[in-house]
Amino acid sequence: MKTILPGGTIGIIGGGQLGRMMALAAREAGFRIAVLDPTKNSPCGQVADIEITAPYNDEAALEQLAEVSDVITFEFENIDYEGLKRLAEKANVPQGAELVRITQNRMAEKAEIRASGAPVAPYIEAPTYKDFVDRVETIGFPCIVKTAFGGYDGKGQVKVDSIDQVEEARPLFEHSQCIAEAFVPFEKEISVIIQRNAAGETFTLPVAENIHVNHILHESIVPARIEQSVHEEARKAAHQIADHLQLVGTLAVEMFVLDDGAIVINELAPRPHNSGHYSIEACNVSQFGQHVRAVCGWPLREPKLWAPSIMVNVLGQHVAPLEQVIGDYPDWSIHLYGKAEAKHDRKMGHVTIMTDSIDETLEQIKQSNIWN
């Protein structure tokens, strides 16, 4: 694979916060950045050298991106697969398009996770509502029906508690084919970010413990407060999946931990992940820096955690209260993404706090009254 050196241009499809943080990491090393996003002055556009303003799937715009870039990556998975595949045939897209195809479709994703040997919850494929009703007994109740295409942050999901409630899932089938999986009575949600270069060098970041509020990630605590053996199992599962998929770039693996310490893989994202933002301050290599190394064909660095950390998301409703008390917390690293409008539940930024005591810092976060 071609090694891309500083001075070269990295093209990023998608101009959100993940693209922005990728761009900032790449800029430190001296790369130039081109970004394709439908909106001008996007979070990534603000820190890029070249902004191409067009829909993500605009073929002419993708070609323009390819012309100005030495390597192309992406910050989100909902890109048109066929378009990305065509782009990968003529431009340098080291991640390829296959992982995007798989992670866009929960059916394909589940099948690949299972094929890798990593554990998944029992599930059924349900292309139609009738298939769901006919097959649901094989997984039993409660179960969760999820659209195969297009869901995020808990949208496109319905929990069905008994046979009398199957009707509640019917509207999902108007949007997409679905899968249904057994409800997992998990104790914790964790994630492992795994990164691999084309030479096969592979590293995971420390396991994050994720706390969601209203289906949106609220806090990541690192290292996850789980047994050492569970840390090892989680990393092992991530390696199995990355090897099976011949990953190049970044894969976030979301998992459930049961009360007996068993893990179940929930879903994958083929990009840097909200639960890995802590690595910007807390590790010797951030998920963004490592991603840049991977797609530029550089050797990867073995991640080390400097200190336990908590990352808290700043949504639209948290910006004003955060601004009021910012001066009280010099130890907090504040990241705001440059989004114009602080809409409710919109991810506007995050805060990372490195600490000697996770418990004391959780209490400090509570006392700040920003997230209450």
Question: Which of 212, 304, 343, 366 is the binder for ligand AMP (CB under 6 A)?
Answer: 212
- 77 touches ligand AMP (CB under 6 A): no
Q: Cβ closer to ligand AMP: 110 or 350?
A: 110
Instruction: List the structure tokens of 172.
Output: 């999902």
- HEC string of 254-313 equals EEEECCCCCEEEEEEECCCCHHHCCHHHHECCCHHHHHHHHHCCCCCCCCCECCCEEEEE
Contact 32, 23 (CB under 8 A): no
Q: How far is the CB of 256 from ligand AMP (least distance, A)?
A: 7
If binding means CB under 6 A, how many residues of this protein chain bind ligand AMP? 14
- Indicate the SS3 state at residue 351: strand
* 9 contacts ligand AMP (rule: CB under 6 A): no
Q: How far is CA 179 from CA 98, 151, 156, in A?
A: 20, 12, 11
Residue closer to ligand AMP by CB (options 69, 250) is: 250
Q: Does residue 179 interact with ligand AMP by CB under 6 A? A: no
Asked if 4 interacts with ligand AMP (CB under 6 A), we say no
352 binds ligand AMP (CB under 6 A): no
CB burial of residue 331 (10 Å; 0-12, 13-18, 19+): exposed
Sole binder of ligand AMP in the list 29, 121, 198, 305 (CB under 6 A): 121
**Taking CB under 6 A as the rule, does residue 103 contact ligand AMP?**
no
**Cβ-proximal residue to ligand AMP, closest one:** 184
Helix (H, G, I), strand (E, B) or coil at 327: helix
CA dihedral angle for residue 151, residue 250, residue 357, residue 212, rounded to 10 degrees: 0
Q: Pick from 266, 274, 290, 352 the residue near ligand AMP by CB under 6 A.
A: 266
Strand partners, 120: 265
Q: Which of 80, 112, 189, 209 binds ligand AMP (CB under 6 A)?
A: 189
- Of the residues 10, 66, 148, 184, which one makes contact with ligand AMP according to CB under 6 A: 184
Nearer to ligand AMP (CB atom), residue 116 or residue 210: 210
Cβ atoms of 36 and 56 within 8 Å: the answer is: yes
Contact 256/240 with Cβ under 8 angstroms?
no
Build a one-symbol-per-residue string for 242-261: x at contacts with ligand AMP by CB under 6 A, - elsewhere.
------------x-------
The binder of ligand AMP chosen from 51, 109, 219, 267 (CB under 6 A): 267
- Is residue 187 a contact point for ligand AMP (CB under 6 A)? no
Closest residue by Cα to residue 22 from 7, 40, 8, 10: 10
Nearer Cβ to ligand AMP (70/189): 189
For residues 331 and 8, give the distance between their C-alpha atoms in angstroms, rounded to a whole number. 35
Return the number of the residue (130 or 215) whose C-beta is nearest ligand AMP.
215
Helices (H), the chain: 17-28, 59-68, 81-90, 98-103, 106-116, 129-135, 172-175, 228-245, 279-282, 287-295, 316-325, 358-367
From the list 19-27, 183-191, 279-287, 300-308, the region that binds ligand AMP by CB under 6 A is 183-191
Site residues (CB under 6 A) for ligand AMP? 121, 144, 146, 151, 154, 181, 183-184, 189, 212, 215, 254, 266-267
